[in-house]
Structure 1
């Protein structure tokens, strides 16, 4: 399975990096491919290192202005002209999407995916990996949107909130019929 992962390129606290490393190793050991932003820094690097350590493949999709920080030993690296093309490539190449901790770029990616899914233009499984409760506030906001009629679909049809990598991988493999 090709798993698109959206996450931060920032250097983060161990409570985030250790959980990311564990999830990355699950991707690799499962024989999966991680499709990601291609960066050789921060959480993106932690994920790439873990996937490769677990025996998985890496498909990076970077953007011209960040190409200097693209991982050199990825199995495949695509350089796009802008962020919109990058995001489209990341979505197209994955069989499922996992959104990990990140900043405004990650949040932008997450909300676009959910908007596409809401309109039936994206049908792949989407997981928000809620490491250390990072997305508790977002889950609460989404629940309020559902409760007050802003979502045309049940929240559970749009996204699965996983508390750890094991739960995320179990959901993805079940969704793909691998379990």
Structure 2
């Protein structure tokens, strides 16, 4: 039985140029609310971040945003109505603290289309899984093939000996939000290089 009660979603502070991106964020947000899975995310009120947070909130779901205080004016312009519009907001001092807090509050991860920040969050999470720092499932929502280039790079890294084949399974990939969420409920990530207990010692 799945123990996923909260999912951290990494996604862009931009909506992108294709309507499919926002549509996928809305669909995923509705699914999270319906399944009573709390959303943990980067705290922004704009772009795909704002879309999914707003969707979950309007559907009666739980939202927790983690935002560096210095970005409040840029990523959360509706600051005066923060609590009313997008659930709970936790302000932190640094980007490192943001990622650590999102990880601590989440049972699984989903990366949606985004830019440098989204990839930074995704790759740190994957690296933590490879090293055994965390054992939570990681999903990649490959909307209209957005991550096809990334997946091609992964296959090249495996074939050229930079990534062990077993770690291909650190990422669960689907184009449909419902299919991805279903797979995450049963995903069993590969064993990391170091046991989780060793990192906690």
Q: TM-score, normalised by structure 2?
A: 0.82
1:173, distance to aligned residue in structure 2 (A): 2.3
Structure 2 counterparts to residues 26-105 of structure 1, below 5 A: 26-68=31-73, 69=76, 71-73=82-84, 74-105=86-117
1:163, distance to aligned residue in structure 2 (A): 1.0
Moved more, 9-18 or 83-92: 9-18
The structure 1 residue matched to 2:166, chosen from 154, 157, 160, is 154
Could you say what the CA RMSD is over the residues aligned between the two structures, in angstroms? 1.6
**What is the distance in 1 between the residues matched to 2:158 and 2:134?**
19
Paired residue secondary structure (1:112): helix
The structure 1 residue matched to 2:15, chosen from 7, 11, 15, is 11
**What is the distance in 1 between the residues matched to 2:164 and 2:110?**
22
For structure 1, the residue ranges without an aligned partner over 5 or more in a row are none
**What is the distance in 2 between the residues matched to 1:146 and 1:115?**
15
**What is the distance in 1 between the residues matched to 2:20 and 2:91?**
31
The structure 2 residue matched to 1:23, chosen from 9, 13, 28, is 28
Q: Deviations over 1:101-138 (max 9, x none)?
A: 00011111111111111111111000011001000000
Checking the alignment, whether the CA contact within 8 Å between 1:28 and 1:53 is kept in structure 2 is no
Q: TM-score, normalised by structure 1?
A: 0.92
1:143, distance to aligned residue in structure 2 (A): 1.3
Paired residue secondary structure (1:5): strand
**What is the distance in 2 between the residues matched to 1:6 and 1:127?**
10
- Tell me if 1:121 matches 2:125: no
Q: Which has the larger radius of gyration?
A: 2
1:153, distance to aligned residue in structure 2 (A): 5.0
